[in-house]
Amino acid sequence: EAQVTQNPRYLITVTGKKLTVTCSQNMNHEYMSWYRQDPGLGLRQIYYSMNVEVTDKGDVPEGYKVSRKEKRNFPLILESPSPNQTSLYFCASSSPSGFSYTQYFGPGTRLTVL
């Protein structure tokens, strides 16, 4: 089954404790992206990757890091989480080889930083 998976689905942590949220896709997609979703603000892009070893900032990259060492995985790293990073996070992937390619989203990771 074609899918995007995220782990963990739920996470409660404390300020300053480094964490990683994993994202994996099985569709051989070149493009992957991370979003955060907050009430009243919709989906905001954090980072994206057009292909392996190619990453770039989205709209709200501060406080986050990413890496893309292999095509299927795109982990999101919070080196020193703060309470304002409490949010619902989504990973997405697509194949940007033409003009009309849609994104497939993961199920989301709900993060709470105390």
Partner 1 sequence: LAKTTQPISMDSYEGQEVNITCSHNNIATNDYITWYQQFPSQGPRFIIQGYKTKVTNEVASLFIPADRKSSTLSLPRVSLSDTAVYYCLVGEPTYNQGGKLIFGQGTELSVKP
Residues interacting with partner 1, by CB under 8 A?
4, 31, 33, 35, 40-45, 48-50, 56-59, 90, 92, 94, 96-108
Shortest spacing between CB 22 and partner 1, in angstroms: 15
Shortest spacing between CB 94 and partner 1, in angstroms: 6
Shortest spacing between CB 74 and partner 1, in angstroms: 12
Are 43 and 64 within 8 A, CB to CB?
A: no
Backbone φ, ψ for residue 84 (5° rounding): -75, 0
Q: Is 21 exposed, middle or buried (0-12, 13-18, 19+ CB in 10 A)?
A: buried
